[in-house]
Amino acid sequence: MGLKSQVLLPQYPIREKCKELMLTEEQLRQIMKTFHHELLLGLGKKTHDNATVKCFVTYVQDLPTGRETGKFLALDLGGTNFRVLLIELSENHFEMKSKIFAIPQHIMLGSGEQLFDHIADCLAKFMKEENIMKEKLALGFTFSFPLKQLGLTKGILKSWTKGFNCSGVVGNDVVQLLRDAIKRRGDINLHIFAILNDTTGTLMSCAWKNHSCKIGLIIGTGSNACYVEKQKNAELFDEPDGGSGNVLINTEWGAFGDNGTLDFLRTQYDKTIDQNSINPGQQLFEKMISGMYMGELVRLALERFTKEGLLFGGKGSDLLFSKGRFYTKYVSEIESDYSGVYTNCREILEELGLKHASEQDCVNVRFVCECVSRRAAHLVSAALVTLLNKMDEPHVTVGIDGSVYRFHPHFHNLMMEKISQLINPHLKFDLMLSEDGSGRGAALVAACASGKSR
Ligand code: BGC
């Protein structure tokens, strides 16, 4: 007693085995180079069809001015929850009401018709509650999956991601599917003015507040980014220039690596995650980064180390050995413990049936979490810097949303540090947390499209 207890370090064999999760600056620079090449393939007319990073044109040419006005409905589908919003915009001010509805698993994996009927049903319930059934409002639809847009109100679904797999939707125009579902009910009256990605919504929402915002980034269940590109570089953009000379590009960077370009750094955990997913071979970059997979990456490493006798005295638990039972929020919680303290860590390990964990086990578990989340933050940073360098604007604000960025205690700092190291030295950037999700962004795009913007 009285003596300071010795600070424990993660054990040598675990440190060694986790080295493959640590990316060197050289590796990150190589990723940037490859990603830049893939972006150009996505933007090019001749190369787009075979490109992995699709760089879809969004048909949004203008960023908000802050002078948009009107009352709008917005739908936000893209994760485990679905939101309906009512937004009133006036000069530099907005009010928003929203309701969250769950998307049950059987609908995520059911038919497209069921999904869109469910969406229309939630919309009708919300409109009834808000007493707006009789108003013909403009609607913006945030639909956060890879869409090949053919206009502001036409988008063909290329593939499902993030655990969705509804039949009969891929290859179809989702705006039409929503219109059909609304028609089937016959009790709602509205005008769909825009379909957009959550990254576009986030960019618009942040740009409304901060005019230097030119990138929208999501690090949540999935991951993706959208940025302001010059129309002349977006070879598939086929509408007249409304004056800005720009168009927002939805990169769909989650699919980066699907052609093997990231194989040099994929670990056995990445491969297992992919094999066990409902979309093997797809969204490989996303699977290394986002909230749908981060907890499972940690669990796979912990399972391996336990079976090798390096953790918990070689004695695991049913939960630790069950797919999907180490939630991504655990990673954030474990890393939220002050250094040298393992309160959250112990609680989580107990929840997982690992009461017998020693202090050294806690140190090791935390270290594995840090390696996985650091790698995610570094990969996102490398892709983001590629966009910042490509845009070559003196100062860009990045609007960011998503549970990983929002709740992980160190993600922001890890990104700040890595981006500063990789960015071209004459460029300045900052990272801005989006406060209002992409709902306001949907209203803003609808406002511009419906002419309620000056
Ligand atoms: C989707 C993107 C979306 C991202 C973040 C990805 O799985 O393909 O469209 O922006 O998740 O929600």
Domain ranges of the chain: 1-54+211-228+244-423, 59-196+437-449
Whether residue 218 has its Cβ less than 6 Å from ligand 1:
yes
Number of Cβ within a 10 Å radius of residue 222: 26
The helix/strand count (H/E) of the chain reads as 15, 13
Phi, psi of 286 (to 5 degrees): -55, -40
Closest CA to 160 of 148, 146, 171: 146
The answer, yes or no, to whether any atom of ligand 1 lies below 6 A from the CB of 162, is yes
Regarding the domain delimited by 59-196+437-449, which CATH topology (the fold level of the hierarchy) does it fall under?
A: Nucleotidyltransferase; domain 5 (3.30.420)
Q: How many Cβ atoms sit within 10 Å of the Cβ of residue 413?
A: 12
β-sheet bridge partners, residue 228: 248
User: Does ligand 1 lie within 6 Å of residue 450's CB atom?
Assistant: no
> Could you tell me the CA-to-CA distances from 122 to 75, 127, 129, 446 in Å, in that order?
10, 9, 11, 20
Q: Please, is 412 exposed, middle or buried when counting C-beta atoms within 10 Å of its C-beta (0-12, 13-18, 19+)?
A: middle
User: Which of 233, 229, 225 has the alpha carbon at shortest distance from 200?
Assistant: 225
Atom of ligand 1 nearest to the CA of 221: 12
Active site residue 198: yes
Instruction: Write down the architecture of domain 1-54+211-228+244-423 according to CATH.
Output: 3-Layer(aba) Sandwich (3.40)
CA 218 – ligand 1 centroid, Å: 8
CA dihedral (106, 108, 114, 115) positive or negative: positive
Chain position carrying tokens 């969406």? 119
The Cα–Cα gap between 312 and 310 comes to 7
Whether 59-196+437-449 and 1-54+211-228+244-423 are alike in CATH topology: the answer is no
Residue 426 in tokens? 């004459």
CA distance 115 to 323: 26
231 C-beta neighbours (distance < 10 Å), count: 17
User: Residue 294: CA atoms inside 13 Å, Cβ hemisphere, count?
Assistant: 29
Which protein residue's CA is at the shortest distance from atom 11 of ligand 1? 222
For residue 183, the tally of other CB atoms under 10 A from its CB is 10
Handedness of CA 84, 59, 152, 279 (dihedral sign): negative
| Residues present in the chain in total | 454
Identity of the residue numbered 230: K
Question: 155: Cβ below 6 Å to ligand 1?
Answer: no
Instruction: Give the closest residue to 196 by CA, choosing from 81, 368, 95, 57.
Output: 57
Q: Are 2 and 353 in contact (CB under 8 A)?
A: no
Task: Evaluate: CB of 198 within 6 angstroms of ligand 1.
Answer: yes
Active-site residue identified among 76, 117, 198, 337: 198
Rounded distance from Cα 361 to ligand 1 centre (Å): 35
Pocket test for ligand 1, best of 52, 142, 252 (most atoms within 8 A of CB): 252
**396 vs 386: CA distance, rounded Å:** 13
Reading across the β-sheet that carries 190-196, which strands appear in turn? 93-102, 81-90, 70-77, 137-143, 190-196
Measure 143 CA to ligand 1 centroid, in angstroms. 9
Pocket of ligand 1 contains residue 216 by CB under 6 Å = no
Token pair 């490109």 is found at: 51
- Tens-binned pLDDT, residue by residue, of the chain (454 aa): 445 567 899 999 999 999 999 999 999 999 999 999 999 999 999 999 999 999 999 999 999 988 899 999 999 998 778 999 999 998 878 899 999 998 999 999 999 999 999 999 999 999 999 999 988 899 999 999 999 999 999 999 999 999 999 999 999 999 999 999 999 999 998 999 999 999 999 999 999 999 999 999 999 999 999 999 999 999 999 999 999 999 999 999 999 999 999 999 999 999 999 999 999 999 999 999 999 999 999 999 999 999 999 999 999 999 999 999 999 999 999 999 999 999 999 999 999 999 999 999 999 999 999 999 999 999 999 999 999 999 999 999 999 999 999 999 999 999 999 999 999 999 999 999 998 777 889 999 998 888 755 4
8 Å CB contact between 212 and 397: yes
Burial of 364-382, coded b for 16+ CB within 10 Å and e otherwise, reads: bbbbbbbbbbbbbbbbbbb
Whether 45 is catalytic is no
> Counting beta carbons within 10 angstroms of the beta carbon of residue 260, is it exposed (0 to 12), middle (13 to 18) or buried (19 or more)?
exposed
